[in-house]
Amino acid sequence: MSVRVQEQDFDLAAELAGFGDGAGAIVTFTGIVRNNPAGDLREMLIEHYPAMTKPALEQIETDALNRWQLTDSRIIHRFGALKPGAQIMMVATASTHRQNAFEAAEFLMDYLKSRAPFWKKEITTSGEVWVQGKDADVAALKRW
């Protein structure tokens, strides 16, 4: 069980070495900076609220652990300036049952989207724009 907030990149394989401690099922989600429809994204600036970020992520992880039988979990979220194609964040969940691992990973993602204090600004060749929170992301919390 661990949460990390960091500027540097992460290596999914290294994160999964020994992860889950014998669990049969491991689910990962990796978020990647994708280019915008115009294809002119230079970088994605990710700002966060340092005093709040880690506690907020730990609370989300705790909620998942209380809800599903997991043998392990991990949340890593980056901040700073990221290029298209760069990894933004990952979650991983391990359980003896695949459905638990899948549901817990989706739960973590849904809460990360609208309950973790990160903000994204797209820097394009023609200007800068803050990414807006999606109503669909807020609505996604209702299913849990």
Partner 1 sequence: MIDVVYFAWVRERIGVPREQVETNAKTVAELVSELSAREDRYELAFSDLSAIRVAVNQTLVEFDAPLEGATEVAFFPPMTGG
DSSP SS3 for 92: strand
**Inter-helix orientation angle 98-115/50-67, to 10°:** 150
Of the candidates 93, 74, 72, 85, the residue with the CA atom closest to the CA atom of residue 9: 85
Closest distance to a copy of itself from the beta carbon of 51 (Å): 27
Considering only 15-23, 34-42, 64-72, 130-138, which stretch makes contact with partner 1 by CB under 8 A?
A: 130-138
Residue 23 lies near partner 1 (rule: CB under 8 A): no
Q: Which candidate, 106, 107, 47, places its Cα nearest to that of 77?
A: 47
User: 79-98: which residues touch partner 1 (CB under 8 A)?
Assistant: 88-89, 98
Number of H helices, E strands in the chain: 4, 8
The residue type at 16: L
68 near partner 1, rule: CB under 8 A: no
Residues that bind partner 1 (CB under 8 A): 31, 47-49, 51-52, 55-56, 77, 88-89, 98, 109, 112-121, 130-133, 137-138
Residues that bind a copy of itself (CB under 8 A): 11-14, 16, 20, 22-35, 84-85, 96, 98-99, 101-102, 105-106, 109, 140
